[in-house]
Structure 1
Amino acid sequence: METSAVRHIIILLLVLLVLRSSALGQNQIYNVLNFHAHGDGKRDDAQAFLAAWQAVCGDQRTAIMVVPAGRTFLLNQVSFQGPCKSPVTVQLDGNVVAPNHIWTRKSANLLTFLGVDDLTMDGNGEIDGQGAIWWDCYNRKRCDNRPILLGFARCNNLKVRRIHLKNSADKHMTLFQCSQVSVDNVSITAPADSPNTDGITVAFSNNTYISNCSIQTGDDCVSVLSFTKNVTVTTSRCGPGHGISVGSLGRSETAMVEQITVSNCSFVGTMTGVRIKSWQGGKGYAKGFLFESLNMTEVQYPIVIDQFYCPQGNCPRKHGGVAISDAKFIDIQGTSSEHEAIRLLCSQSVHCKDIYLSNINLSWVNHTAPANATILNAHGTTEGIVLPRIQFSNTL
């Protein structure tokens, strides 16, 4: 065989090898429409979504489950379970809606991702819980259990980006027993009077980073519950809602929360700004807080520590409490809608320790008098300008 012919064969084989390697490296696309989803917002597409998920989750290549734009998919309590054979992306560009009726009487999520590591949910789509019927049912004391919109449990290396959540029957997004989570550029909306419609709830999790989010709901924009460590919320907007809260802690479990950072966030018309709340008689600890570079606009109570949390207002006095310590409030500016801009209310039996405030300037929006602060059994220091003025307790 001539040398030139051999050379051409070798080149052809090399090209085929390159093409084969390139094909193997490409992401496999699974469009839910190819699994017989209707996308008309009327017929239940749960089975089509589950079939697409099984294909994605079972693919050894990095796979993408596509929910296409321009369609609305009706879903009724779907659970996407892992583990999967490779990293998975859910590309949510279309819209998902919940049924517009009371579809469960038990604790449930509309969408659940369970035990899925290396999961990314991304896209310009929306998940609508159609919560109005549920809020009315709850207010009439007929619905004890309302579904959460989007739940992640035991998901490690999770990324949630850009999607929009709205009008959940209850909480919008929950992170439970998750590690290494990034939530970025997500928007969440529900009416200010919608009950318990928290934006993002983090529990039993660690290393969670929430950034560039806009959350407007009827409850906490972000709530951090027990057995949670290393949570950061930054460059986000909160309001209306109840603010960014740690707790409530200690009602039925031993609290363990540490290393919580809230920075470069704005609060508009919220009930509280940043808050740590625990029940009387609780056990455990909450420590290592940094609340920094925050702007408050007509926030009812911008800075709160409350060891007497009792939303119903009829709790009996109990001895003990969750030990709260090492909380820093730095560079917090703006206005309160109440005269009392700062509330540090700590237990007689378990005082709050190592509280630090620096460069605080909060004024009462009424302007008829300076804002004031209420301090009870809290110990700490101040530095620089702190308005309203703080008088910490002198003895432990």
Structure 2
Amino acid sequence: MFVLAVIRSAEGHRRIYNVLDFHAAGDGKTDDAKAFLATWNAACSDGGNEPVMAIPRGRAFLLSQVSFDGPCKSPIKIKLDGKIVAPKVIWTKKQGNLLTFFDVDHLTLDGNGEIDGQGAIWWDCYNKKSCCVHVIQLLGFARCNNLVVRRIHLKDSADKHMTLFQCSQSLVDNVSITAPADSPNTDGITVSSSNNTYISNCSIQTGDDCVSVLSNTKNVTVTHSRCGPGHGISVGSLGKSETAMVEQITVSNCSFFGTMTGVRIKSWQGGKGYAKGFIFESLNMTEVQYPIVIDQFYCPQGNCPTKPGGVAISDAKFINIQGTSTEQDAVKLMCSQSVHCEGIYLSNIHLSWMNHTSPTNAEILNAHGTTEGMLVPQYCSPTLSSY
């Protein structure tokens, strides 16, 4: 009781709900899902001063598909200092997340701990096309407003590492995400149908997009973060089966290392809707294949039929971007004949072709806008005029 009293005092009289007190084994072998749910239910029903669900360091907790549901009676904090591991088998044939937080407002997930998806067995199954399903994501937040995720480490998800869906006012800060460069579909952070998302000071190394922004999303900022390996920071793909609506996306003060693209907006032919209000500023590219991309012909499988129409892309600013590309076409602004890109602005771009003396190129199609300041590569497009 004395120890508990000290902990309460240190936490500002918060009640601490330790998963070990709810019979979690923490041996990395026993499924602790029931113990975690019991701990969550106790903390979530506490109407006091931000109760804490504690996952202690020095233990590994095996979990299989757990959903932590709200609403809770007060703001709630999860202190993750230990390690959570997924089963090291193909443990389900159903779509889902290893951990889901649903309808929980004022949630904080913080700590020095790790969530390990043990994804290698899934990647092998996916590559061999022998899996019935490959959409087991590691950590999902749905309808969680005023969310804070800070400091934790995510590792080797079977699919996407963290998803935000229908969330408002989210902060993801100082989170690290790692997976091998050849791991399939292992996006770092995916934001969908959400608004007011701020991602800062993160380090993301994956086999797919470091950050991806999907439709029905507004006001996302990614800043002071590191991406690579991976596919870069992407908006889209948009318009395949829904009317796209994306606006006010800012990526600033970020570094990219060995990625497929740097910053990219991608949409399918024949799509509907819009994507507007982009600022890509103060970015450093190191050995990036294509540092700047707008692609209204997105077709990852190849051989897509030509379709009229497209997602209207407008008001995209690329400012103070420097570094090296591994391809000569360092800038690709490829927009459709039927729905041109409008309001493109390029200023102070300096991208050199790695290990070559020849200059980089810019490939531009149906993109309208203005340029200013130093521009390498040079832009010889009749639709982009300089001040």
Task: Give the TM-score category using the shorter length.
Answer: over 0.9
Matches within 5 A, 1:248-267: 248-267=237-256
Which residue matches 1:29? 16
Confirm or deny: 8 A CA contact 1:324 1:353 kept in the other structure. yes
Confirm or deny: 8 A CA contact 1:378 1:393 kept in the other structure. no
The code of the aligned residue for 2:116 comes to D
Confirm or deny: 8 A CA contact 1:225 1:248 kept in the other structure. yes
1:312 partner SS:
coil
Which residue matches 2:81? 93
Percent identity of the aligned residues?
78
The code of the aligned residue for 1:105 comes to K
Whole-angstrom CA distance in 2 between matches of 1:366 and 1:264: 25
Whole-angstrom CA distance in 2 between matches of 1:236 and 1:267: 9
The code of the aligned residue for 2:138 comes to L
Confirm or deny: 8 A CA contact 1:379 1:392 kept in the other structure. no
Whole-angstrom CA distance in 1 between matches of 2:383 and 2:250: 27
List, as ranges, runs of 4+ consecutive aligned residues in structure 1 with deviation greater than 6 Å: 22-25
Confirm or deny: 8 A CA contact 1:375 1:393 kept in the other structure. no
Whole-angstrom CA distance in 2 between matches of 1:142 and 1:200: 26
Whole-angstrom CA distance in 2 between matches of 1:331 and 1:218: 27
Whole-angstrom CA distance in 2 between matches of 1:359 and 1:327: 15
Do the aligned partners of residues 351 and 40 (structure 1) sit closer, same or farther apart at CA in structure 2, a change above 3 Å counting?
same
Which residue matches 2:221? 232
Shift of 1:366: 2.4
Residue 330, structure 1, aligned to residue 319, structure 2: yes
Whole-angstrom CA distance in 1 between matches of 2:10 and 2:263: 50
Residue 278, structure 1, aligned to residue 290, structure 2: no
Shift of 1:24: 12
Q: Deviations over 1:274-314 (max 9, x none)?
A: 00000000000000000000000000000000000000111
Confirm or deny: 8 A CA contact 2:369 2:383 kept in the other structure. no
Whole-angstrom CA distance in 2 between matches of 1:84 and 1:59: 8
Which residue matches 1:14? none
Q: Deviations over 1:316-337 (max 9, x none)?
A: 0000000000000000000000
Of the three residues 382, 391, 394, the one matched with 2:371 is: 382
Residue 40, structure 1, aligned to residue 27, structure 2: yes
The code of the aligned residue for 1:51 comes to A
Confirm or deny: 8 A CA contact 1:373 1:390 kept in the other structure. yes
Which residue matches 1:181? 170
Which residue matches 2:114? 126
Confirm or deny: 8 A CA contact 1:319 1:349 kept in the other structure. yes
Whole-angstrom CA distance in 1 between matches of 2:134 and 2:153: 23
Which residue matches 1:306? 295
Confirm or deny: 8 A CA contact 1:134 1:146 kept in the other structure. no
Whole-angstrom CA distance in 1 between matches of 2:233 and 2:382: 26
The code of the aligned residue for 2:20 comes to L
The code of the aligned residue for 2:146 comes to N
The code of the aligned residue for 2:363 comes to T
Which residue matches 2:5? none
Confirm or deny: 8 A CA contact 2:155 2:179 kept in the other structure. yes
The code of the aligned residue for 1:97 comes to V
The code of the aligned residue for 2:172 comes to V
Residue 218, structure 1, aligned to residue 186, structure 2: no
Whole-angstrom CA distance in 2 between matches of 1:69 and 1:24: 17
Shift of 1:25: 6.3
Structure 2: runs of 5+ lacking an equivalent: 1-8
Shift of 1:368: 3.1
1:69 partner SS:
coil
Whole-angstrom CA distance in 2 between matches of 1:26 and 1:251: 51
Matches within 5 A, 1:61-100: 61=48, 62-100=50-88
Q: Deviations over 1:132-180 (max 9, x none)?
A: 0000000011223330000000000000000000000000000000000
* TM-score, normalised via structure 2 length: 0.95
Alignment RMSD (CA, Å): 1.3
Q: Deviations over 1:33-75 (max 9, x none)?
A: 0000000000000000000000000000120000000000000
Structure 1: runs of 5+ lacking an equivalent: 1-21
Q: Deviations over 1:96-117 (max 9, x none)?
A: 0000000111111000000000
* TM-score, normalised via structure 1 length: 0.93
Confirm or deny: 8 A CA contact 1:159 1:182 kept in the other structure. yes
Confirm or deny: 8 A CA contact 1:109 1:150 kept in the other structure. yes
Alignment size in residue pairs: 374
1:382 partner SS:
strand
1:156 partner SS:
coil
Whole-angstrom CA distance in 2 between matches of 1:25 and 1:92: 18
Of the three residues 343, 361, 365, the one matched with 1:372 is: 361
The code of the aligned residue for 2:359 comes to P
Do the aligned partners of residues 23 and 295 (structure 1) sit closer, same or farther apart at CA in structure 2, a change above 3 Å counting?
closer
Whole-angstrom CA distance in 1 between matches of 2:354 and 2:293: 18
Confirm or deny: 8 A CA contact 2:122 2:134 kept in the other structure. no
Residue 50, structure 1, aligned to residue 37, structure 2: yes
Which residue matches 2:194? 205
The code of the aligned residue for 1:254 comes to T
Confirm or deny: 8 A CA contact 1:122 1:160 kept in the other structure. yes
Of the three residues 177, 183, 190, the one matched with 1:194 is: 183
Do the aligned partners of residues 371 and 209 (structure 1) sit closer, same or farther apart at CA in structure 2, a change above 3 Å counting?
same
Which residue matches 1:243? 232
Shift of 1:394: 3.4
Whole-angstrom CA distance in 2 between matches of 1:349 and 1:287: 17
1:56 partner SS:
helix
